[in-house]
Amino acid sequence: MPTRYESVESGRLVKLPRLKEEMPTTVPENIKTLMVALGERSYPIYLGTGTLERLPEVLNDLAVRGTIGLVTDSSVGPLYARRVRQLVEDSGRICVTHTLPAGEAYKRLEQVENICGTFLQGRLDRTSLVLALGGGVVGDVAGFAAASFMRGVPCIQIPTTIVAQVDSSVGGKTGVNHPLGKNTIGAFHQPRAVLIDMTLLETLPDRELCAGVAEIIKHGVIADAALFAYLERESDPILAKDLAALEYPIRRSCEIKAEIVAEDEFEQGRRANLNYGHTFGHAIEAVSEYRLFLHGEAVALGMCAAAALAHALGIVPQEFVTRQRHCLQAYGLPTRWLELPVDAALEAMHKDKKVRAGLMKFILPTEIGTVVHRTDVQEDQARRALESLRVE
């Protein structure tokens, strides 16, 4: 049976009980439609092959009148920016492109200022729309620029990495890093649509692919034991970029994210489950100056630390710790960092935006598919969890 976030069948009307506005009527057979149900701000996630070609139709459905601001980066731009620009121009609109330098190190406030400068020079206004074409960094920075420019213009996310497709493009979290903390400057700004074209993964570097799978493994741990088991079983075709093998875990991750966001848009409760591995992972990114690990790799390390903490607290058996580690290792993800500066990481954790009244919140597993929130963790316990990453 279809969920309330998914169309009944490809090529048929999209009907959702919580959606007040009528959404686009039909989709091709090779594309599925999921919904993030947020009342009048609900939006579709189009997922499949050839999804990018629907961009003119989506722009028409949204009645976009103004100039389009396309934001991409120096890695993705040479591959796909020309095609996206052509699709925009074929729809009868002007397209102004801004290219960011690639990499997490450039996810900074100055880049938002640069983007807005390009938009002003290109005469974008409040009738304009921003297209975010790239991975998680592009999506976060472009989304924040969209939230800020003219006090807010709409945005469409076109994620080109697995991390972006299953996580950062859905849910409206946008922002940039500060030297003292990750994603500490930003805004909630939901996209008007998300276009996930599986064929864009064919040019994804192997390391980026594996980093993206870390977020899918996270979704399995927090919400779906069957998804986790699938990832354990199907590592070979997934690593070979078999799009048929990738479709289910990407779709399922989007369903999980959409359901959680619809229930808890501003992270007052259940949405915090999505931070599993991130309290430790963000600290690891910060102390490595966002240069040593990709985001998904840091999350993998964070998941290992969280599992070690859960085991030390008596929440999970050693079997869980070992099983999760083996799954991460099957995708070439790091599970140890022998040079981890523990004191610096602890300091970074205290500056994390998830800290409330001086208390760090940890999302910890109780079994595959279920997690709990804990704010009673002592600093020495968090320290030992980090130190476990330094043991071979």
| Average pLDDT of the residues in 262-267 | 95
- Sign of the torsion formed by the C-alpha atoms of 374, 377, 381 and 387: positive
Of 253, 250, 244, the closest CA to residue 30 belongs to 244
HSE of 261 in the Cβ direction (CA atoms, 13 Å)? 28
Tell me if domain 1-203 and domain 205-392 are identical in fold.
no
Q: Assess whether pLDDT exceeds 70 at residue 152.
A: yes
To the nearest 10°, the Cα dihedral for 82, 84, 87, 93?
-100
Cβ-contact 132, 73 below 8 angstroms: no
* Closest C-alpha among 156, 243, 252, 249 to residue 204: 243
- Say what the pLDDT of residue 8 is: 28
Instruction: Return d(Cα 274, Cα 256) in angstroms, integer.
Output: 10
Sign of CA dihedral 292, 284, 72, 158: positive
Mean pLDDT for the chain overall: 92
Q: Where are the domains of the chain?
A: 1-203, 205-392
61-64: which pairs have CB atoms within 8 A and are 24 or more residues apart?
A: 61/23, 61/24, 62/129, 62/154, 62/192, 62/193, 64/93, 64/127, 64/128, 64/129, 64/154
| Helices 295-312 and 278-287: angle between axes, nearest 10 degrees | 130
Residue 113 clears pLDDT 50, i.e. is over it: yes
Considering the domain 205-392 in this protein, what is its CATH number? 1.20.1090.10
Percent of the chain with pLDDT over 70: 92
Give 143 or 357, the one with higher predicted confidence.
143
Catalytic residue among 104, 215, 255, 285: 215
Q: Token pair 């064919």 is at which residue?
A: 202
Predicted confidence at residue 9, as pLDDT, reads 30
Please give the Cα distance from 98 to 177 (Å, whole number): 19
* Mean pLDDT, rounded, for 155-170: 97
| Alpha-carbon torsion (106, 102, 213, 322), positive or negative | negative
**What's the topology of domain 1-203?**
Rossmann fold (3.40.50)
Position 20 confidence tier, pLDDT thresholds 50, 70, 90: very low
275 catalytic residue (yes or no):
yes
Q: Is 178 annotated in the active site?
A: no
**Which of 1, 128, 11, 155 has the alpha carbon at shortest distance from 65?**
128
Is 347 one of the catalytic residues? no
Out of 173, 192, 218, 311, which one is annotated catalytic?
173
Q: Is 373 a catalytic residue?
A: no
Residue 95, CA distances (Å) to 70, 91, 119, 160, 250 in order: 7, 10, 10, 19, 30
Active-site residue identified among 295, 297, 311, 325: 295
Q: Tell me if 159 sits within 8 A of 171, measured CB to CB.
A: no
Query: Average pLDDT of 68-80?
Result: 98
CB 219 within 8 A of CB 182: no
What's the pLDDT at 241? 96
Q: Would you call 83 a catalytic residue per the annotation?
A: no
- List 93, 189, 278, 325, catalytic entry: 278
pLDDT band at residue 13 using 50, 70 and 90 as cut-offs: very low
- Residues near 346 by Cβ (< 8 Å), separated by ≥ 6? 283, 379, 382, 383, 386
The model's pLDDT over 314-371, given as tens digits with 9 standing for 90+, comes to 999 999 999 999 999 999 999 999 999 999 999 999 887 667 656 889 999 999 999 9
Q: What is the DSSP track for 180-193?
A: TEEEEEEEE---SE
User: Residue 282 catalytic?
Assistant: yes
Query: Residue 356 has what pLDDT?
Result: 64
**Which residue among the candidates 192, 271, 311, 325 is catalytic per the annotation?**
271
pLDDT at 114 over 90: yes
Say which DSSP state 390 is in: G
Predicted confidence at residue 26, as pLDDT, reads 63
Please state the length of the chain: 392
Nearest to 194 by CA among 133, 124, 244: 133
Least confident piece of the model among 11-25, 77-91, 288-302? 11-25
Which of 9-13, 136-140, 153-157, 174-178 is predicted least confidently? Answer: 9-13
With contact defined as beta carbons under 8 Å apart, do 61 and 40 qualify? no
pLDDT at 11 > cutoff 80: no
What single DSSP character describes residue 338? T
User: How confident is the model at residue 357, as a pLDDT?
Assistant: 56
Active site residue 267: yes
Residue 350: what pLDDT? Answer: 87
278 catalytic? Reply is yes
**Selected catalytic residue, list 93, 219, 282, 325:** 282
- Of residues 21 and 45, the one with the higher pLDDT is 45
Active site includes 173? Answer: yes
Which candidate, 81, 80, 101, 285, places its Cα nearest to that of 178? Answer: 285
